[in-house]
Structure 1
């Protein structure tokens, strides 16, 4: 999550908490390897995950979209994930992808462990105030 998308929260954080917040963007979600080719001359997965307000570049929600891709569910990234079917076929299953990239901590049973409360239809996907900021 980039500070410009959570301006209301960022302005209320002291310097130490802001640094922690900023560093979250440079965790696995910021360096995850996705196919970099523009299949069909359209967006890559990395660029597409930053645009829909329902995702706002959140890694946990991106992984949820990938989970849905393996189960045949719909998601805001559905089209771009389908364009990269060969990449996802390498792992055979969602669990295969999770195991390969060592993302087991993101799983909670057969679901994703979300960074903040998640309602499939609710916006916004980023905290709007300190009360909704995950600490």
Structure 2
């Protein structure tokens, strides 16, 4: 049974000042365990163990051992779009919704052969710029067997993605339906997208505001979807 989850809770509020909620918010870790310890598409339970020393959450099953870490899947690109943001009066900037459950997901955390994990790769790749809509497009292409900007790192963690069967299974498990069109295969991008030929970081004030508003809309919708899921499991 899924316990109570407050989707309005900002994980920065129970994290030491200046530190990373993904690593140090006890509420975020507890919510992850409660929300995602549920059946995989195969029917096997995605049980998450919080007791392994030095690890965030660990899943062990017949499919293997997966050491997982938390990551935020929305970003206002504060540093990457800094020059554009400086041109926007504070009273005009879209709201900062904080770090709530609608913005959080688990990824494999362990580095394989010393190479970047998914958190790092998507943050440093200039065509992704830490944006989850672009990351999800790469994940979609991975499941479809298509080349993509994160192909190497996604292939390194193919056992993890295999847990969810296919792209639809991945989207449904992580409650990401609000980032995908009704056809189940087209991403609802936060910014103009032309097969990764458009810049990942908005370059104009109008584009930046539209990007943040789209991101905020996704956060609100996913939080409502999480609320609905929790009520359904109570």
TM range (shorter): 0.7 to 0.9
The structure with the larger Rg is 2
Q: Which has the higher helix share?
A: 1
Higher mean C-alpha deviation, range 3-12 or range 89-98 = 3-12
User: Is there any run of 5+ residues in structure 2 with no aligned partner, and where?
Assistant: 1-74, 214-234
**8 Å contact from structure 1 (residues 53, 123) kept in 2:** no
2:121 to 48, 70, 82: 48
Q: Could you say what secondary structure the match of 1:50 adopts?
A: helix
- In the alignment, does 2:158 pair up with 1:101? no
**8 Å contact from structure 2 (residues 192, 198) kept in 1:** no
Question: TM-score, structure 1 length as denominator?
Answer: 0.87
- In the alignment, does 2:112 pair up with 1:39? yes
**8 Å contact from structure 1 (residues 50, 57) kept in 2:** yes
Question: TM-score, structure 2 length as denominator?
Answer: 0.52
Q: Could you tell me which residue of structure 1 aligns to residue 3 of structure 2?
A: none
User: Residue by residue, what CA displacement relative to the aligned partner does 1:7-58 show, whole Å, maximum 9, x if unpaired?
Assistant: 12211223345462x547x366853210001012210100100111111011
- The structure-2 alpha-carbon separation of the partners of 1:39 and 1:3, relative to structure 1 and needing over 3 Å to count, comes to same
Q: CA RMSD in A?
A: 2.0
- In the alignment, does 2:144 pair up with 1:71? yes
Question: Number of matched residues?
Answer: 133
User: Is there any run of 5+ residues in structure 1 with no aligned partner, and where?
Assistant: none
Equivalent-residue separation in structure 1 for 2:123 and 2:176 (angstroms): 20
Q: Could you tell me which residue of structure 2 aligns to residue 112 of structure 1?
A: 187
